[in-house]
């Protein structure tokens, strides 16, 4: 089983929304996916309550020691991808999620505050020697700020592609208990999330592990 962790201490970066979008996109490709929710805010659990589909499963954990056991049980059930959603802080739960991850995704909005806030998480990831990639999230359609952010993140490590734009479909899908690819199948947001999942899937399946 592969483990994907969404991590960054910056609130509002879109970790939970992105996690949901990627999970559903992976399921559409026939993968068995489940969440481990390590965020006390419970965004994904609340999303699941609004969802008619029993999948993906959501397992909530409140203690770092519970994460490994939760992932082991999911693997025993035949889950192919466990996605760990973490809180907006570098707490013990987030650190344990990073340590267990095959790949850490760090959603970052193209603003100086978001990029500065990503540094402590990046330091933790490197200290634990885990693979990672930044995701430029909630991006404007164009502008020099986006280009500057992409250049800066590329200098710090791997930048996932494509960027994920600021689009209402993401929040509307979350409110409806759906992934964005279910909510607006032909929309631009769905196109971006499917492409991002394709990128992530290739990273997870790589034979050669490259650290940033």
Give the angle subtended at the CA of 209 by the CAs of 90 and 189, to the nearest 5°: 65
Cis amide prior to 162 (ω within 30 degrees):
yes
Which uninterrupted H or E stretch holds 71? helix 64-76
Whether the model clears a pTM of 0.95, i.e. scores above it, the answer is no
| Nearest-angstrom CA–CA distance, 70 and 120 | 26
Residues β-bridged to residue 136? 108
The domain over range 2-204 is classified in CATH as 3.40.50.300: yes
Chain segment 8-65, per-residue pLDDT in tens: 987 888 999 999 999 999 999 999 999 999 999 999 999 999 999 999 999 999 999 9
Query: Within 10 Å of residue 156's Cβ, how many Cβ atoms?
Result: 17
């Amino acid at each position: 089983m592969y483990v994907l962790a969404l991590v960054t201490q910056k609130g509002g970066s879109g970790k939970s929304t992105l996690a949901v979008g990627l999970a559903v996109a992976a399921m559409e490709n026939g993968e068995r996916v489940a969440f481990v929710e390590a965020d006390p805010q419970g965004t994904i659990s609340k999303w699941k309550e609004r969802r008619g589909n029993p999948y993906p499963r959501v397992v909530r954990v409140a203690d770092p020691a519970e994460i490994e056991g939760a992932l082991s049980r999911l693997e025993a059930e035949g889950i192919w991808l466990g996605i760990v959603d973490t809180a907006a802080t570098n707490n013990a739960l987030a650190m344990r999620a990073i340590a267990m991850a095959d790949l850490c995704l760090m959603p970052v909005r193209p603003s100086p505050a978001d990029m500065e806030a990503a540094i402590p998480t990046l330091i933790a990831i490197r200290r634990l020697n885990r693979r990672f990639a930044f995701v430029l999230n909630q991006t404007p359609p164009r502008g020099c700020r986006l280009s500057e952010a992409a250049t800066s993140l590329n200098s710090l490590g791997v930048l996932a592609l494509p960027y994920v734009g600021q689009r209402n479909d993401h929040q509307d899908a979350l409110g409806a208990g759906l992934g964005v690819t279910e909510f607006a199948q032909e929309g631009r947001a769905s196109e971006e999330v499917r492409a991002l999942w394709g990128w992530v899937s290739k990273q997870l399946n790589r034979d050669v592990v490259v650290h940033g």
